[in-house]
């Protein structure tokens, strides 16, 4: 029964509907033509009878088509579409699509098993097919981060989603950008002037800022080189860019190089930029615990909302509705998932730099102690359990020595230096990038040189 319905659902496409509407008109036109051709007075009456029965037949077939279109329209009622808007997260969009929190969590948690859904970009598309009998239930779900990839989830009938990835062919281009800082121009301005995508300029700046203080040490005449790898769909739609290599050589800043390392596990936070020696160059590995941030009480001294006593507030309070998803701010291991009278339901995640993030007063906890979590993985929902005046998230950060710190001042969770098989892998990737740089530099002039020519 369910299978049958799904088959029909899959078959339904916009194009199919348009075609059907067209096929409605073709018989009508034919019928009119037939009547016109044969409307001379010399016709015998049996020909008229025949025509009448033909027309009746056409009308019947028309009615059948109309029924089909009606059914299509009925199905379309169960299709919900959404798209990431500026500053929006996936949960907001799913909420706008009318998908329940329970379903959203199921969808996001199934997706996070295989897909990196950390940084959503504007215009990423979602489509959900709702059950016609159980309006809350999502039968299938599609996530298109870009036109070339589709992540599809289908309820296999057991209430569990089955994941499928669909790829469309793309092309890859490598480009070298190199140049010299002119008097009064920053690296940022210079890179932008070379028409490097803005997000990539941010990445280059972020990597190099780990080593260079541009504000004090950049000088006119400093040289730089950037290697980008870009993926295109249908040759013109840029769907992915990565900085494979960045180089800076300055009078005062010295010489610095960064290589992109891609881990065995595509979702790993080890995938980042490193020096030749395997030292991480990560300017901010930290994400936010909620999609929407509205601070109601900052870190520091305050009068307690319940006890009225002036005391230290060891974290940041964010206002959010009960049920709002709470994310792990970085990859780590759940060291606490428990309940007590003060904290209510709370979770603590220890990160690779041995700092621990805390999430208090949760409505629900969705991770267990000992579990590994990814950055931006949903770990629970906002609530008002424990000593709390209303739904909010108390977010805290502890140093490795056990003392609390202001979470807003925590800038970076360092990925440890690459070691062992990861370091071997980094060296392989460095060798590949170096070969690439050599071949590109000798075979073609830099993009800057090309741009200067025209
Ligand atoms: Zn608090």
User: What confidence tens digit (pLDDT) does each residue in 152-170 have?
Assistant: 999 988 888 999 999 888 8
Task: Give the three-state DSSP class for 82.
Answer: strand
For residue 282, the CA-to-ligand 1 centroid distance in Å is 29
As a whole number, mean pLDDT of residues 280-284 equals 69
Domains 79-167 and 295-409 share a fold: no
Q: From ligand 1's centre to the CA of 336, what distance in Å?
A: 18
Parallel/antiparallel/unpaired status of strands 392-398 and 316-319: antiparallel
CA of 89 to the centre of ligand 1 (A): 24
Cα(318) to ligand 1 centroid in Å equals 8
> Class for domain 171-282+420-453, per CATH?
alpha beta
Q: Which has the closest alpha carbon to 378: 14, 181, 111, 72?
A: 111
* CA dihedral (168, 171, 174, 175) positive or negative: negative
Q: Could you report the per-residue pLDDT of 411-428, keeping only the tens digit for each?
A: 554 455 788 999 999 999
Give residue 434 CA to ligand 1 midpoint distance, Å: 50
> Which pTM value belongs to this model?
0.49
Residue 266 Cα to ligand 1 midpoint, Å, equals: 35
pLDDT at 250 > cutoff 90: yes
Ligand 1 mean position, distance from CA 308 (Å)? 14
Second-level CATH architecture of 79-167: Roll (3.10)
Note the helical H segments in 212-273: 214-217
Of residues 271, 270, 273, the one with CA closest to residue 282 = 273
- As to burial, measured by CB atoms within 10 angstroms (0-12 exposed, 13-18 middle, 19+ buried), residue 440 is middle
For the cut 60, the answer to whether the pLDDT of residue 35 exceeds it is: no
Share of the chain above pLDDT 90, in %: 37
Q: pLDDT tens-digit profile of 176-220?
A: 999 999 998 889 999 999 988 888 898 898 889 878 878 788 999
Query: 316: CA distance to ligand 1 center in Å?
Result: 6
CA 350–ligand 1 middle distance (angstroms):
19
Domain 295-409: state its class.
mainly beta
14 has pLDDT over 70: no
Distance of CA 288 from the midpoint of ligand 1 (Å): 16
At residue 238 the predicted structure's pLDDT band, cuts being 50, 70 and 90, is confident
Ligand 1 centroid – CA 410 distance (Å): 17
pLDDT at 289 over 90: no
**312: Cβ contacts below 8 Å, ≥ 6 apart:** 300, 301, 302
- The residues spanned by each domain of the chain are 2-76, 79-167, 171-282+420-453, 295-409
For 338-381, how does the pLDDT look when each residue is reduced to its tens digit (9 = 90+)?
A: 999 999 999 999 988 789 999 999 999 999 999 999 877 899 99
71 token code pair: 């059914």
């Amino acid at each position: 029964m369910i299978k049958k319905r799904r088959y029909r659902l899959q078959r339904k496409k916009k194009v199919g509907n348009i075609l059907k509407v067209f096929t409605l008109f073709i018989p009508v036109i034919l019928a009119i033509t037939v009547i016109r051709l044969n409307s001379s007075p010399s016709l015998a009456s049996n020909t008229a009878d025949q025509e009448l029965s033909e027309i009746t037949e056409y009308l019947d077939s028309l009615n059948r088509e109309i029924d089909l279109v009606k059914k299509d329209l009925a199905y379309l009622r169960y299709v919900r579409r959404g798209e990431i808007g500026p500053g929006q997260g996936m949960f907001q969009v799913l909420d706008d699509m009318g998908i329940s929190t329970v379903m959203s969590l199921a969808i996001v948690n199934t997706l996070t098993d295989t897909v990196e859904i950390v940084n959503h970009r504007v215009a990423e598309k979602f489509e959900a097919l709702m059950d016609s009998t159980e309006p809350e239930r999502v039968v299938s779900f599609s996530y298109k981060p870009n036109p070339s990839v589709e992540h599809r989830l289908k309820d296999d009938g057991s209430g569990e989603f089955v994941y499928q990835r669909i790829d469309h062919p793309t092309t890859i281009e490598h480009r070298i950008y190199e140049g010299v800082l002119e008097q009064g121009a920053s690296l940022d301005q210079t890179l932008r002037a070379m028409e490097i995508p803005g997000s990539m300029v941010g990445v280059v700046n972020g990597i190099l800022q780990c080593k260079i203080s541009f504000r004090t040490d950049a000088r006119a005449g400093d040289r730089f080189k950037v290697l980008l790898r870009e993926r295109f769909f249908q040759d013109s739609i840029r769907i992915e860019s990565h900085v494979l290599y960045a180089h800076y050589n300055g009078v005062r800043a010295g010489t610095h190089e960064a290589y992109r390392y891609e881990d065995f596990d595509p979702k790993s936070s080890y995938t980042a930029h490193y020096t030749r020696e395997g030292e991480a160059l990560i300017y901010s590995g930290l994400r936010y615990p909620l999609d929407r941030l509205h601070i109601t009480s900052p870190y520091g001294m305050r009068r307690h909302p319940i006890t009225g006593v002036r005391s230290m507030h060891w974290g940041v309070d964010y206002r959010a509705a009960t049920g709002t998803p709470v994310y792990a701010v970085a990859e780590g291991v759940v060291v606490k998932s428990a309940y007590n009278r003060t904290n209510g339901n709370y979770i603590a995640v220890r990160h690779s730099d041995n700092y621990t993030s805390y999430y208090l007063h949760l409505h629900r906890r969705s991770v267990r102690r000992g579990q590994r979590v990814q950055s931006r993985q949903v770990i629970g929902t906002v609530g008002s359990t424990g000593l709390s005046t209303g739904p909010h998230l108390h977010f805290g950060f502890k140093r490795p020595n056990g003392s609390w710190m202001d979470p807003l001042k925590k800038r970076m969770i360092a990925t440890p230096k690459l070691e062992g098989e990861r370091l071997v892998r980094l060296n392989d990737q460095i060798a590949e990038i170096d070969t690439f740089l050599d071949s590109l530099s000798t075979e073609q002039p830099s993009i800057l040189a090309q741009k200067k020519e025209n």
